[in-house]
Amino acid sequence: MLRLKGVFPALTTPFEKGAVALDLLRHNVAAYNATPVSGYLALGSTGEFPHLTADEKRRVLEAVVEEAGLAGRPVIAGVGELSTAAAVAAVREAAVAGAAAVMVVPPFYYRPAMDDAALAVHYERVADASPVPVLLYNVPALAGVTLSPVLVERLADHPNIIGIKDSSGDLVLLGAYLQASAGNDGFAVLTGSGSALLAALLAGAAGAILGVAGVAPWECAGLVEAVARHDLAEARRLQGRLAGVEQQVLDPYGLPGLKWAMDLLGYFGLEPRAPLRPLDDDEKSRIKQTLYTTGWLNAC
């Protein structure tokens, strides 16, 4: 059984002239392979999974699995289908493509009906059918559904559900997840917030799946390592650097901002796929100035 700990970059999907650029995606993963990250998430929210066709998703996952395998890194595949039957099919396809685990978005379209009972049945059926371990995904800002601690306590008992990524940024909720799953040693609580990484680790989180790790893999992994060796001064220093990027680039400019920061820092982010809007020249200039001011570009 895969045990989740450390930092997993949430990979972006590069597009050239509107098409998925698998060679540039491989370049990014190869660069991350040289850092101390624990593995990767492909086809997550940062990877623009809703904007990819089924064939593109398969090819992206296969490319990431192949490149990550050169460094012995596991790949978690995002699964965002909204029906239970489609999610079951998707987790099986992800396993065939080589994913070590899957992260399943809660079904959200019929949100008023998505109570704990409906979500429990969905996740349990997907986990029963999945050839690989399942990770829950709490992302209320995008899905509009919050997985309750009561639900997580129930699902943590399932032998094929190994953790949850919490992207709410709510440390009280993350603490409730930790308490709800305290009796399950194989269940990992991971944060999806770079700004809250240090606080989450100190609260007991096993690690993180982060978009900001796409521009700061060394810093994210270094923060986890600093906490593990009880070097809080270094951990606080690294948290300050990460928080600056999240709060001044990712929070105001979103995924297009992250992709442009990647371009500036030696990776291939490129533009997002429509209907996400690319940055204009003024926005790009402001981000570039921010990275200079905060020392990110000076360090390169």
Residue 165's domain comprises: 6-230
Whether residue 286 lies inside any domain: the answer is: no
Inside any domain, residue 174: yes
pLDDT of residue 300: 44
DSSP at 125:
H
* Higher-confidence position of 186 and 98: 98
Query: Of the ranges 60-74, 219-233, 237-251, which one carries the lowest mean pLDDT score?
Result: 237-251
Query: By C-alpha distance, which of 243, 204, 199, 238 is closest to 220?
Result: 238
In Å, how far from its chain's centre is CA 244? Answer: 19
* Mean pLDDT across 46-60: 97
Per-residue pLDDT tens for 151-179?
999 999 999 999 999 999 999 999 999 99
Q: Which residues of 77-98 are buried (b: 16+ CB within 10 A; e: fewer)?
A: bbbbbeebeebbebbebbbebb
Q: Do you find a cis peptide bond into 275, omega within 30 degrees of 0?
A: yes
| pLDDT-based confidence at residue 2 (cuts at 50, 70, 90) | confident
165 catalytic, yes or no?
Answer: yes
Domains in the chain, number: 1
Residue 183's pLDDT band (boundaries 50, 70, 90)? confident
CATH of the domain at 179: 3.20.20.70
Question: Percent of the chain beyond pLDDT 90?
Answer: 95
pTM over 0.85: yes
Which of these is catalytic: 5, 17, 57, 165? 165
Does residue 296 form part of some domain? no
Confidence check: pLDDT of 55 > 60? yes
What is the torsional sign of CA 165, 170, 174, 180? negative
Which pLDDT value is given to residue 29?
A: 98
Q: Is the residue at 238 inside a domain?
A: no
Dihedral sign, CA of 146, 151, 152, 156? negative
CA 174 to chain centre: 16
